[in-house]
Amino acid sequence: MPEPLSPGELLALDRAHVWHPYGPMPGRTDPLVVQSASGVRLRLAEPVHGRSELIDGMSSWWSAIHGYNHPVLNEAARGQLERMSHVMFGGLTHEPAVRLAARLVEITPEPLEHVFLCDSGSVSVEVAVKMCLQHWRSLRRPAKRRLLTWRGGYHGDTWQPMSVCDPDGGMHGLWSGVLPEQIFADAPPAEYDPGYADALRALIARHAEELAAVIVEPVVQGAGGMRFCSPAYLRVLREACDAHDVLLVFDEIATGFGRTGELFAAEHAGVSPDVLCLGKALTGGYLTMAATLCTPRVAEGISRGEVPVLAHGPTFMGNPLASAVACASIDLLLAQDWRQEVKRIEAALRDELAAARDIPGVRDVRVLGAIGVVQLDHEVDMAAATRAAVGEGVWLRPFRDLVYTMPPYVTGDEDVARIAAGVGAAAAAG
Ligand code: PMP
């Protein structure tokens, strides 16, 4: 093992060389140095604003649902590491990937039956789009190549996913005019609005001949604005897609595995998509893995084409280590009363965040499942808001006009209260 770097040495190398997410060129951000993480706590290499430990209010971007350094997931990783950490998936198969695929089919709504295991959420959306476009090409309907989505959504950072992110004020506005041009419906209202539903149906009908698929985040639009909407719109989409021969893709990369109070958010509406994208919490946040599931109808369409294969095959497809940990994470989740835990966090967030309504500049406070959002009437000052949360001993990542939390499901009541205090402090400071 190399000698550990001092925090100063580490930050100097970071500043010299390392890009961070949505970051300026290296040297222009000041990340905190995390030394280790256990349970819901991140341990810092040096105290910052008087804190050497932070409660993670972000679950590392929705993923670490069981917290960090979990003995069961550690054991799954260790056991698999000793058998085989990776092997190519072309022409070979293995137990962890097969078990995972079968488990995913078992726990997701019917008739999803076929599973493509890839390495990040964005890639799982790329694969979903590819499946839909290829399905229609194979059926000799190549004009069906556009996507319809909701404004305010977020589906990832690679090309097709960027094209279905919010086009106005979204994170990928830089690329307008370069990305494939998609069709956008207004963001869905929080409550069911029959007029909006009619407009959505009409838009799908109007574009049916050129639409390959509708893609949305069910019930919660995450990184595009942390908006919640009525699940009833999912039924509207399902009916309209069926009526007009359009495929329906649900991106549950953020909402999957219990976050909204149902195992998958589309279950709030009892609706099943043709293609489903999963990621983030799939491995309990341990390893990079995502999955795209589809129905036999989609797969059979593809297999009728001149090129009857899905031409996608990432090097780390079906990675055994990630697959083994994903299986262990799913088992761990389902072996406990996870629904009760998410409900407990939901109730605690509702109680504890209520006071945030009185903070000047707060426009809305909303909670669903293990997600709490405080929306301001102005752009948050990220540095000031983060500093205020850290001062409360909480790790948050405020952005745009939002201060929000989606804590690990193992966060105890006292820690949820601390997180809410951190959210309140960030909202007041930002
Ligand atoms: N879709 C949704 C709904 C997401 O929240 C994200 C990640 N924020 C992605 C896709 C992209 O996933 P990844 O960052 O793993 O590429």
pLDDT for the residue numbered 173: 80
321: tokens are 């280590």
Query: What whole-number distance in Å separates Cα of residue 406 and Cα of residue 60?
Result: 9
Q: Which residues contact 84 (CB under 8 A, 6 or more apart)?
A: 94, 320
Ligand 1 centroid – CA 282 distance (Å): 12
pLDDT for position 176? 83
Contacts of 341 (CB under 8 A, 6+ apart): 409, 410
126 lines ligand 1 (CB under 6 A): no
Mutual angle of helices 382-391 and 413-429, in 10-degree steps: 150
Distance CA(346)–CA(406), nearest Å, equals: 10
CA–centroid distance, residue 118 to ligand 1 (Å):
13
Q: Which of 123, 149, 150, 155 to mutate to test the pocket of ligand 1 (most atoms within 8 A of CB)?
A: 155
225 Cα: distance to centroid of ligand 1 (angstroms): 13
According to DSSP H, which parts of 24-94 are helical?
59-62, 71-83
The SS3 call for residue 48 is strand
Pairing of strands 247-251, 114-118: unpaired
**Residue located nearest, by CA, to atom 9 of ligand 1:** 156
CA of 253 from ligand 1 middle (Å) equals 6
List, edge to edge, every strand of the sheet that includes 247-251. 114-118, 290-294, 275-278, 247-251, 211-216, 146-150, 183-185
**Which atom number of ligand 1 is nearest to the Cα of residue 61?**
8
**Ligand 1 lined by 217 (C-beta under 6 Å):** yes
Q: How many helices (H) and strands (E) does the chain have?
A: 13, 16
CA of 389 to the centre of ligand 1 (A): 24
Q: Whose CA is nearest to atom 2 of ligand 1?
A: 155
Taking the C-alpha atoms of 190, 226, 289 and 284 in order, what is their torsion angle to the nearest 10 degrees? -100
Query: Residue 11: what residue type?
Result: L
The reply to whether 397 sits in an annotated binding site is yes
125 C-beta closer than 6 A to ligand 1: yes
Task: Please state the separation of Cα 146 from the chain's center in Å.
Answer: 23
The answer to the question of whether 61 is labelled as a binding residue is yes
Ligand 1 atom nearest 290 alpha carbon: 15
Tokens of 305: 């084409």
Distance (angstroms) between ligand 1 centre and the Cα of 226 equals 13
The 10 Å CB-count burial string (b at 16+, else e) for 337-373 is ebeebbebbbebbeebbeebeebeebebbbbbbbbbb
Angle at 244 between CA 239 and CA 250, to 5 degrees: 55
Establish whether 280 is an annotated binding residue: yes
Q: Is 251 annotated as a binding residue?
A: yes
User: Is residue 295 a known part of a binding site?
Assistant: no
Task: Enumerate the active-site residues.
Answer: 22, 154, 251, 280
CB 277 within 8 A of CB 250: yes
Minimal-distance CA residue to ligand 1 atom 7:
156
Closest CA to 404 of 428, 374, 384, 364: 374
CA pair distance 27, 8, nearest whole angstrom: 13
Sequential DSSP letters for 232-301: HHHHHHHHHHHHTT-EEEEE-TTTTTTTTSSSSGGGGTT---SEEEE-GGGGTTSS--EEEEE-HHHHHH
**Is the overall model pTM greater than 0.95, yes or no?**
yes
Return the pLDDT at 169. 66
- The CB of 73 under 6 Å from ligand 1? The reply is no
Taking each helix axis from N to C end, the angle separating 338-353 and 413-429, rounded to the nearest 10 degrees, works out to: 40
Q: Is 253 in the pocket of ligand 1 (CB under 6 A)?
A: yes
Q: Mean pLDDT for each consecutive 10-residue tract of the chain (430 residues)?
A: 93 97 92 98 96 98 98 98 98 98 98 98 98 98 98 96 86 86 97 98 98 98 96 98 98 98 98 98 98 98 95 96 99 98 98 97 98 98 97 97 98 98 96
